[in-house]
Chains A and B, each alone.
Chain A
Amino acid sequence: MTAINNECPYISKNKINFTFDGKNLPAYEGDTIASALLRNNIRLVGRSFKYHRPRGIYTCGIEEPNALVQILSEHNEPNTRATIKRVYDGMEISSQNRWPSLKFDLGAINNILSPIFSAGFYYKTFMGPKGFWKNIYEPLIRKSAGLGKPPKNFRSKSIHQYHNTDIVIIGGGLSGLITARKFVNTKYKVLLIEQDSFLGGILKNSNKVDSINGISPLEWIKETEELLSDSKNITILKNTLVTTYNFTNHLVALEDKYSGRKIDLKKSELTLHKIRTSLTILSNGHIERFISFRNNDLPGVMLASSFEKYIHRYGVIPESKPVIFTNNSSTFSLLKSMTSLGYKPEAYIDSRKKDEIETEIKKFLKNNNITSYFDSEVEGCDGNKKVEKITIRNGKNYFKLNSSMLCVSGGFNPDIHLFTQSKGLVKWDKLIASFKPDTSFQRTLTLGSVSGNYNFKKLCDEINQKLSFLKTKKANLEIKCNVTNKFSLRELWETKKKKNSNWSKSFIDLHNDVTINDLKQAITEGFDRIEHLKRYTTNSMGTDQGKISSINSLALVSKLLKKEIAEVGTTTYRPPYAPLSFAAIAGRSTYEFYDPERKTSIHSWHLENNAVFEDVGQWKRPWYFKANNDETMHQAVQRESKMLRQGAGILDGSTLGKIEIKGRDALEFMNLMYTNAFTKMKPMTSRYALMLGEDGMIKDDGIICKISDQHFIATTTSSGAPKVLADMEEYLQTEWPHLQVYLNSITEQFSTFNISGPKTRDIMARVFPHIDFSNEAFPFMTFKNFDYQDTKIRIMRASFTGELGYEIYIPPKYGLELWEKIFSCGKVFNLIPYGTETMHLLRAEKGYIVVGQETDGTVTPLDLNYNWMIGKNKKDFIGKRSLSRPDTARNDRKQLVGLLPINQSDMIEEGQHIVEINKLPNKIKNPIKYLGHVSSSYHSPNLNKSIGLAMIKGGNNLLGQRFFVTVSGNTKNIPVEIVNPVFIDPENKRLTS
């Protein structure tokens, strides 16, 4: 058993070194891990998923079910296909799913226990007793089954690239290249996508084509690539795999920019291409399938076309004397490849009857003196962690051959994965015994072998005919082949097993260790629908998606069910075609770009003054300001709250939503949108207002400024702003188009400062010496415009803290300067900046609600006792009708109340339940009566005790009563008294004087 290096134009002569399981090995630049391992005569590369059976390299591409490895030198990247990933100097690789070592794996005991691991094993076995799944079964399964280990934490630099194009050609093989040539220097914008680092497909992977227009395939690939590269309308993407084909011709493709090179951590290694095209041309070829026989998983069994690909694409003959086992004419080119290089297979086994086999093949076998067996098949193979002996059945006779490799071909499947993702219909083709595309659902064309055309001679005609509706050049090539013109095949899915032992298994899915017996058993148990069968047995559910075996399983199932394959149907092909990493999907939307960040014009000042930020929607808002590095959040909030009620505080309220509303019917519109009545409201005054949904539930709140009956400015909550504007637009466009009203968002046009506290008037008088802030000149809930430098500002008297307060609106350009001026004027009055947490504490002391904290989409204004805000005389407003629905009008709905702990040192938690019992039983057997929940809770520095707001069933009638609040991690509840929710200044003296 030995591999031989072969001359190859696609592999560099530069030698490199890599390690596999710690062993240093040589390779050539351009090798995949698989080709390099084969070059080093390493055939055992991993252990299987369930039974831990030894496995080797089965294929030479994306379809590989076995050879998955862990790349230690790339953040421990697991489950990498050795047949795709290229090696580079210094690469470190390890095998997966074995312990303690690949050659001696204790998990292989699963194979001996295999009778209990059959189909539906997990569903049947891990049923009870209670608690066993979490504590025993799951950890056990996680340890013994599975693939690689998770990667290390790292930040990928994957990027996204969008494309809008006319034509995408998927697959740069022979048909893809012929098609692309037709578009050279045309008006069409074309994207040609190839998963390999070289174009050419079958031309470079095999010996099947001898010459094109009299030149060698290699020369023709070079000529074509030059032609395409020079054409400005064509872009070629190599090392790029199309994983997804969505509706309206939207494709997703992953480009590996560091194929065969060590990743540079400073640079982007992957690009996820998101492509929108008018027409998709699928020329993505075919995938060879295997045949199930006893121990068809032993290292050394390989697909015949993969063997041929290693010779031509990677310049390594994996074995000089393999046995070839086929049921079709395609292996002819492998025979030719071997003999032209001076080697001869150990034997050629063809399951077809002698008269079915092409004369030229028979002649070739005879002339080259190759041992051949017709109408024969491989019964199975045996060996210690590798193929050693192969048992052949010829009629009733059995005999053994000695070889370390067995090349298998069970025929070819058009690679319909992407076509079916596009929702196209496929049809069974008896000649090739496979599904091929039939009816496209989108603007999709299939060309070449993916369309079921295996005849190179007819390729140009097919392409010209299918593309005749476009203005392109005619393709006219003379293709000389090394294969028979007519593809012929004899259906063969499994061979009869003679030998029975625990070790002897015929696999249908190598990746997930599903055997033919598992399929049979599942059908016996009643899982006769293909989608059920797949899930019950996990057949074709591995990361390879059963690329070399799923059609085989359909054929076997149809035989067992005695149905036509078309009747059994296929399982649904879903994206992705092959695994792609989350890093690629996330792109740059991680860490600081996880969500776009919005900052106010005062942000830099907040940073300099030790603000700790809170995310409100996308906004960064100061949560609290640290007076010194040691100050805790609790200390800061207590300090800020106390100082504001003694002196003054200022909050950056720029994030509040602001909407300008103007038009002839603005008043009517506002009366319809909000619960409040605006008709009698005087110009240049403002009002606290509520907006409901049609279900009567509170959606948003804010202050409405009335400039005139035709002109309003509405403020909204910071996170509710986009939704409120969108809702207003929606009603104007769809329900009330007769109303002449226009809206503009002006959130960003103003920096907004909320200044409040008993000393506020003094500070404002110093900042704006020309403005009269007296109570008479500037009463509560009024606003005025003033000239300021070369701009204008608006000042409104309003407050969310319960103290005297003003809101200043100024264009952002002037914001920071004014903010600093206010601080220089406010210094003597102990003016402090405060954040959202102090704002929340202060408003809770005053009994003001926060939308989203007291309300949760199930709270009406009536539940908050906000009846005074409802314009009862208005005929209609959004949600009005719902307020009189029986459920909304109930007396025992959850209503807003205040909570005071009986014991002043008790601190209640937000979100806890309010119950009638002082202690929860240790084991809760019967449901405990639930009265409501705590919506807000703070320690009030101004009252020097803890206070809370709660939503309690029938709360209005419970004032003065005692209940209990549950505690997390404790069964002892906190006794509380139900009180009025306004704790400070219930007469509003501070606000209005």
Chain B
Amino acid sequence: MILIKCPYCGERDQSEFANGGEAHVVRPKNPESLSDKDWGEYVFYRNNPKGIFYERWVHSHGCKKWFNVVRNTSTDQILKVYKVNEKRPDLTEFENTLKSPSGEPSVGSGNFAVKK
């Protein structure tokens, strides 16, 4: 259970939150004008990277507010929390934080708990 900082209530235990998948996927304004393929991509396709990920969380057992989080999925480290109406932070902001606990490669878990 990690600690997540709700932008409205402060730091709370993960058990109070629910994850809402990838952030910044906007619902198309005119769904009828979309091709089946484009609509299908909106409904069914999401990114799931290893490393830095922009994702949505909701404080479902607290204030019930949605917010966005930048999280490193390989370390669980939360790099930034921002409100839904705030601008998506640039990836370059997190360049220096790009690390995994054991310097893992981008693919596979490997076994690198030992410092080289």
Q: Which residues of chain A have C-beta atoms less than 8 A from B87's C-beta?
A: none
Q: Which of B36-86 contact A (CB under 8 A)?
A: 36, 39-40, 42-44, 56, 58, 60, 64-66, 75-76, 84-85
- Interface check B114, CB cutoff 8 A: yes
A427 near B32 with CB under 8 A, answer no
Contact of B115 among A439, A571, A695, A876 (CB under 8 A): A439
Contact of A420 among B42, B44, B56, B113 (CB under 8 A): B113
CA gap between A438 and B84 in the complex, in Å: 39
Q: Give the most central of B30, B43, B84: most A CB within 10 Å.
A: B43
Contact of B84 among A250, A529, A733, A881 (CB under 8 A): A733
Q: Which residues of chain B have C-beta atoms less than 8 A from A424's C-beta?
A: 101
Q: Which of A679-708 contact B (CB under 8 A)?
A: 694-695
Contact of A425 among B2, B64, B75, B101 (CB under 8 A): B101
Q: Which residues of chain A have C-beta atoms less than 8 A from B92's C-beta?
A: none
CA gap between A805 and B56 in the complex, in Å: 44
How far is the CB of B36 from the nearest CB of chain A, in Å?
Answer: 5
- Interface check A786, CB cutoff 8 A: no
How far is the CB of B45 from the nearest CB of chain A, in Å?
Answer: 12
- Interface check B31, CB cutoff 8 A: yes
Q: Give the most central of B30, B66, B85, B102: most A CB within 10 Å.
A: B102
Contact of A695 among B44, B102, B114 (CB under 8 A): B44
Chain A positions 176 through 200: 1 when the CB is less than 8 Å from some CB of chain B, otherwise 0: 0000000000000000000000000
CA gap between A250 and B11 in the complex, in Å: 13
A425 near B102 with CB under 8 A, answer yes
A730 near B114 with CB under 8 A, answer no
Q: In the complex, what residue of chain B is closest to A876 when comparing beta carbons?
A: B31
Q: Which residues of chain A have C-beta atoms less than 8 A from B2's C-beta?
A: 246-248, 250
How far is the CB of A88 from the nearest CB of chain B, in Å?
Answer: 36
- Interface check A454, CB cutoff 8 A: no
A276 near B114 with CB under 8 A, answer no
A735 near B101 with CB under 8 A, answer no
Q: Which residues of chain B have C-beta atoms less than 8 A from A886's C-beta?
A: 36
Q: Which residues of chain A have C-beta atoms less than 8 A from B84's C-beta?
A: 733-734, 737
A881 near B31 with CB under 8 A, answer yes
Q: Which residues of chain B have C-beta atoms less than 8 A from A885's C-beta?
A: 36, 39-40
CA gap between A726 and B60 in the complex, in Å: 8
Q: Which of B12-50 contact A (CB under 8 A)?
A: 13, 20, 26-27, 30-32, 34, 36, 39-40, 42-44
- Interface check A426, CB cutoff 8 A: yes
CA gap between A904 and B105 in the complex, in Å: 67
Q: In the complex, what residue of chain A is closest to B99 when comparing beta carbons?
A: A441
Contact of B31 among A250, A529, A531, A880 (CB under 8 A): A880
Q: Give the most central of B30, B60, B101: most A CB within 10 Å.
A: B101
Q: Give the most central of B42, B65, B111: most A CB within 10 Å.
A: B111
Q: In the complex, what residue of chain A is closest to B27 when comparing beta carbons?
A: A735
B43 near A426 with CB under 8 A, answer no
Q: Which residues of chain B have C-beta atoms less than 8 A from A497's C-beta?
A: none
How far is the CB of B81 from the nearest CB of chain A, in Å?
Answer: 14
The answer to whether A730 and B20 touch (CB under 8 A), given A441-B101, A880-B31, is yes
Q: In the complex, what residue of chain A is closest to B23 when comparing beta carbons?
A: A734
How far is the CB of B79 from the nearest CB of chain A, in Å?
Answer: 13
Contact of B39 among A420, A428, A881 (CB under 8 A): A881
Chain A positions 566 through 583: 1 when the CB is less than 8 Å from some CB of chain B, otherwise 0: 100111110000000000
Contact of B66 among A566, A573, A733 (CB under 8 A): A733
How far is the CB of B31 from the nearest CB of chain A, in Å?
Answer: 4
CA gap between A695 and B41 in the complex, in Å: 11
- Tally of chain A residues near chain B (CB < 8 A): 41
Q: Which of A420-479 contact B (CB under 8 A)?
A: 420, 423-428, 435, 438-439, 441
B34 near A881 with CB under 8 A, answer yes
What total of A-B pairs shows CB separation below 8 Å? 90
- Interface check A530, CB cutoff 8 A: yes
CA gap between A497 and B113 in the complex, in Å: 33
CA gap between A719 and B80 in the complex, in Å: 35
Q: Which residues of chain A have C-beta atoms less than 8 A from B3's C-beta?
A: 248, 250, 276
Contact of B116 among A566, A733, A737, A882 (CB under 8 A): A566
- Interface check A909, CB cutoff 8 A: no
Interface size class of B (residues with CB under 8 A): 35 or more
- Interface check A729, CB cutoff 8 A: yes
A569 near B112 with CB under 8 A, answer yes
A427 near B31 with CB under 8 A, answer no
B58 near A428 with CB under 8 A, answer no
Q: Which of A225-263 contact B (CB under 8 A)?
A: 246-248, 250
- Interface check A875, CB cutoff 8 A: yes
B34 near A425 with CB under 8 A, answer no
Q: Which residues of chain B have C-beta atoms less than 8 A from A733's C-beta?
A: 65-66, 84
A694 near B43 with CB under 8 A, answer yes
Q: Which residues of chain B have C-beta atoms less than 8 A from A566's C-beta?
A: 114-116
How far is the CB of A474 from the nearest CB of chain B, in Å?
Answer: 31
- Interface check B1, CB cutoff 8 A: yes
CA gap between A415 and B80 in the complex, in Å: 34
Q: Which residues of chain A have C-beta atoms less than 8 A from B42's C-beta?
A: 694
A881 near B32 with CB under 8 A, answer yes
A530 near B115 with CB under 8 A, answer no
CA gap between A257 and B107 in the complex, in Å: 45
Q: Give the most central of B2, B20, B65, B114: most A CB within 10 Å.
A: B114
B32 near A882 with CB under 8 A, answer no
Q: Which of B85-107 contact A (CB under 8 A)?
A: 85, 101-102
A730 near B58 with CB under 8 A, answer yes
Contact of B111 among A441, A531, A735 (CB under 8 A): A531
How far is the CB of B27 from the nearest CB of chain A, in Å?
Answer: 5
The answer to whether A570 and B32 touch (CB under 8 A), given A882-B39, A882-B43, is no
How far is the CB of A534 from the nearest CB of chain B, in Å?
Answer: 10
How far is the CB of A312 from the nearest CB of chain B, in Å?
Answer: 34
A427 near B39 with CB under 8 A, answer no
B64 near A726 with CB under 8 A, answer yes
A247 near B64 with CB under 8 A, answer no
Q: In the complex, what residue of chain B is closest to A531 when comparing beta carbons?
A: B111
The answer to whether A569 and B85 touch (CB under 8 A), given A729-B64, A734-B56, A885-B39, is no
How far is the CB of B71 from the nearest CB of chain A, in Å?
Answer: 11
How far is the CB of A434 from the nearest CB of chain B, in Å?
Answer: 12
How far is the CB of B9 from the nearest CB of chain A, in Å?
Answer: 15
CA gap between A441 and B76 in the complex, in Å: 11
Q: Which residues of chain A have C-beta atoms less than 8 A from B36's C-beta?
A: 885-886
Q: In the complex, what residue of chain B is closest to A420 when comparing beta carbons?
A: B113
CA gap between A957 and B36 in the complex, in Å: 27
The answer to whether A570 and B43 touch (CB under 8 A), given A876-B31, A880-B31, A885-B36, is no
How far is the CB of A656 from the nearest CB of chain B, in Å?
Answer: 21
A571 near B111 with CB under 8 A, answer yes
Q: Which residues of chain B have C-beta atoms less than 8 A from A529's C-beta?
A: 111
Chain A positions 328 through 350: 1 when the CB is less than 8 Å from some CB of chain B, otherwise 0: 00000000000000000000000
How far is the CB of B37 from the nearest CB of chain A, in Å?
Answer: 10
A425 near B115 with CB under 8 A, answer yes
Question: What are 23 sample pairs from A and B whose C-beta atoms fall under 8 A apart?
Answer: A246-B1, A247-B2, A248-B1, A276-B13, A423-B75, A423-B101, A425-B114, A427-B114, A427-B115, A435-B114, A566-B116, A569-B111, A573-B113, A695-B43, A729-B66, A730-B58, A733-B65, A734-B66, A875-B32, A881-B32, A885-B36, A885-B39, A886-B36
Instruction: Add 17 more A-B contacts to A569-B111, A571-B111 (CB < 8 A).
Output: A246-B2, A248-B2, A250-B3, A426-B114, A427-B114, A441-B75, A694-B42, A726-B60, A726-B64, A733-B84, A735-B26, A737-B84, A876-B30, A880-B31, A881-B34, A882-B39, A885-B39
Where the two chains meet, the residues of B that have a C-beta atom closer than 8 Å to any C-beta of A are: 1-3, 13, 20, 26-27, 30-32, 34, 36, 39-40, 42-44, 56, 58, 60, 64-66, 75-76, 84-85, 101-102, 111-116
Where the two chains meet, the residues of A that have a C-beta atom closer than 8 Å to any C-beta of B are: 246-248, 250, 276, 420, 423-428, 435, 438-439, 441, 529-531, 566, 569-573, 694-695, 726, 729-730, 733-735, 737, 875-876, 880-882, 885-886
The 8 closest A-B pairs by CB, nearest first: A423-B101, A881-B31, A248-B3, A425-B115, A427-B115, A441-B101, A248-B2, A438-B115
